[in-house]
Structure 1
Amino acid sequence: MSIRPLYVSPMGRGGVDFGIQNITRSVRAAGLRPELLRLPEIYNFAPFLIPRGLPAGWWRGFDLVQGRSRVAFAFKATGLPVVTTVHHLTTDPDLQPYSSFAQRLFYRLVESHYDGLSVARADAVVCVSRFTQRQVEQTYGRRDSTIIFDGIDTDVFVPTPGLVRSDHGLPPAAGRIRLLFVGNRTRRKGFDLLPQIMERLPADYTLFYTGGFQGKEDAPPHPRMVPIGSPDRAGLVAAYQSCDILLFPSRLEGFGIAPAEALACGRPVVTTNASALPEVVDEGQSGFLVARNDVEGYAARVRELGEDAALRRRFGEYGREKVAANFGYDQLGAGFRALYSRLLEK
């Protein structure tokens, strides 16, 4: 009989939410029988209420239960083996300057406590990058975590034939070179840097950007920035296929799903030489890595790629091969299947 993992995930607003969906799809493809239980968003902030908010015996029929580190500690009462995934730690000092006072207070007084409980109590801890694994060891002292990189469905996120840019995935707009930003409109993601970068680029460069998950749409912060809302998965693939370069000046990433998705679609990436991003983007091979906050550096690298179609193609080909070999669903599903088998044999 195949293993039955139960994934419990309050609704989220970013990459972590996509991550749990990717895990569910990949382990099903690996022959397991997972179920994803979605909960109201409030449980992200009060995970200790999860056992009280669900019917009695909600875990019965499953072999183990898994959730992100903000909530997994609440599953110990089930008596099943508990697995937690650590995507990134908000206690990272590098994040503090780009968080509001309220966020810093929540991170320090609440979320770090939840993360610590989950890391300490889980039967297995999974980290999505080597960077995140180092954080877990340095912050909480746990040294037996397992790295399973975030996974990209490389059968869905695919290049166009010949890596030729599509004209159907982005709204009509002037611009010889089409840039794309995918992420929340937050300072952590470097959204505030985008208008400054655009000011330093030629007039025929246009930047398309997603609306994020905040539920509000402000006017574009630069005349050559075009919002595209919050596309579904098919729309996101089409957007990647319709751009020339992903511009992603994020200041901190536990993995970097957007760069991996762009590379899977054969698009080069300009991003930051920080946190886990160098594990995804290889400098000078699939993209360029720029020092955090270096607006001039981002602009120079974008322009270098924008003016060299052959370089974009070479980077795109290399990036596609790397993501397919290292970050696809095969490694994701196989990694969790092996971890669960070891855990359940104990």
Structure 2
Amino acid sequence: MCISAPGVDHSVFFRDDRQASRKRLDLPEGQVVLFAGRIQAHKGTAIAVTAFAELLEHRESEALPVALLIVGGASGFQGAEELALCHRIIEERDLADTVRFFDPQPHSILADHYRAADVVVMPSRSETFGLVAAEAQACGIPVVASNVGGLAYVVNASESGLLVDNNDPKAFASAIAAVLDHPSFAARLSDGAVEFSEKFSWDATVTRFLELYGGIAALAKAG
């Protein structure tokens, strides 16, 4: 059996100037945590918001300001309920000034959102692959993700991002802080993300398929 991951278009998703992306998106100064994807319970959007609240609660007073961007819309099963839960958490934890929602974006603009971020968070309860993680890493952005399903394959733990073994918001907050508060570590993860992302480029995907087809053809010829 051969398993081949989807490809990422590296002509769209690539590392580029962070400040230029932030300027195009009209973002304020400071650090940025990004959640991108459908707003659904199994994507863990509310976990991301709660983790962000925990992060702010334990930030040092002299730390840089930080914002959470949520790019996506309510979709599918329990999407509306998850969005309502996010807004309730934002109100209860007084996050209105630090959380911004964006509608789903075309790839060219989504790439700017990735590049504007210091870290991408993916607290999914389940994930067959994790295309957002692959795209973010192609842009050089470290990913903090649940250690579930395809995310354990797409994120190279401690090299291109961090994997969290449960859906505890405090554990996610701690992992996010490890990236935000340690620039040299974040820079190493960024380099590792770009390198690891080559595994998911369309060139690599096509090569895997050609090798597969070649093997099948050889077996057929031999048989």
What TM-score range do you get, normalising by the shorter chain? Answer: 0.7 to 0.9
**CA–CA distance in 2 between the matches of 1:310 and 1:147?**
35
Conserved in 2, the CA contact under 8 Å of 1:169 and 1:235? no
> Which position in structure 2 is the counterpart of 1:112?
none
Residue-by-residue CA offset, 1:231-281 (whole Å, 9 max, x unaligned): 101011111111111011111111111011111000111111121212111
AA at the equivalent of 2:51 = I
Higher relative contact order (CA 8 A, sep 6+): 2
The structure that has the greater radius of gyration is 1
AA at the equivalent of 1:183 = G
**CA–CA distance in 2 between the matches of 1:304 and 1:288?**
9
Select which of 199, 206, 209 maps to 2:53: 199
For the aligned residue pairs, the C-alpha RMSD in angstroms reads: 2.4
| Structure 2 residue 206 is the aligned partner of structure 1 residue 333 | yes
Name the SS for the 1:282 alignment partner. Answer: coil
**Count of aligned pairs:** 199
What runs of 5+ residues in structure 2 fail to find an aligned partner? 58-64, 91-95
AA at the equivalent of 2:197 = V
Name the SS for the 1:201 alignment partner. Answer: helix
Select which of 275, 279, 294 maps to 2:168: 294
Residue-by-residue CA offset, 1:287-329 (whole Å, 9 max, x unaligned): 11112211111001111111122221110111101111x1111
AA at the equivalent of 2:107 = R
Conserved in 2, the CA contact under 8 Å of 1:170 and 1:228? no
Residue-by-residue CA offset, 1:85-143 (whole Å, 9 max, x unaligned): xxxxxxxxxxxxxxxxxxxxxxxxxxxxxxxxxxxxxxxxxxxxxxxxxxxxxxxxxxx
What runs of 5+ residues in structure 1 fail to find an aligned partner? 1-144
After TM superposition, the structure 1 = structure 2 runs for residues 103-122 of structure 1, keeping only pairs within 5 Å, are none
Q: Provide TM-score, normalisation by structure 2.
A: 0.79
Select which of 313, 318, 338 maps to 2:192: 318
Task: Name the CA shift for 1:328/1:273 in 2 (closer, same or farther; >3 Å).
Answer: same
Conserved in 2, the CA contact under 8 Å of 1:191 and 1:249? yes
Select which of 191, 197, 209 maps to 2:70: 209
Select which of 214, 222, 236 maps to 2:110: 236
> Which position in structure 1 is the counterpart of 2:35?
181
**CA–CA distance in 2 between the matches of 1:232 and 1:285?**
28
AA at the equivalent of 1:172 = L
Task: Name the CA shift for 1:236/1:257 in 2 (closer, same or farther; >3 Å).
Answer: same
AA at the equivalent of 2:68 = L
1:179 CA displacement: 0.7
Deviates more, 1:204-213 or 1:250-259: 204-213
**CA–CA distance in 2 between the matches of 1:169 and 1:338?**
41
| Structure 2 residue 34 is the aligned partner of structure 1 residue 172 | no
1:200 CA displacement: 0.7
> Which position in structure 2 is the counterpart of 1:158?
14
Q: Provide TM-score, normalisation by structure 1.
A: 0.53
**CA–CA distance in 2 between the matches of 1:164 and 1:317?**
18
User: How many percent identity over aligned positions?
Assistant: 27
**CA–CA distance in 1 between the matches of 2:115 and 2:191?**
13
1:337 CA displacement: 3.5
Conserved in 1, the CA contact under 8 Å of 2:40 and 2:75? no
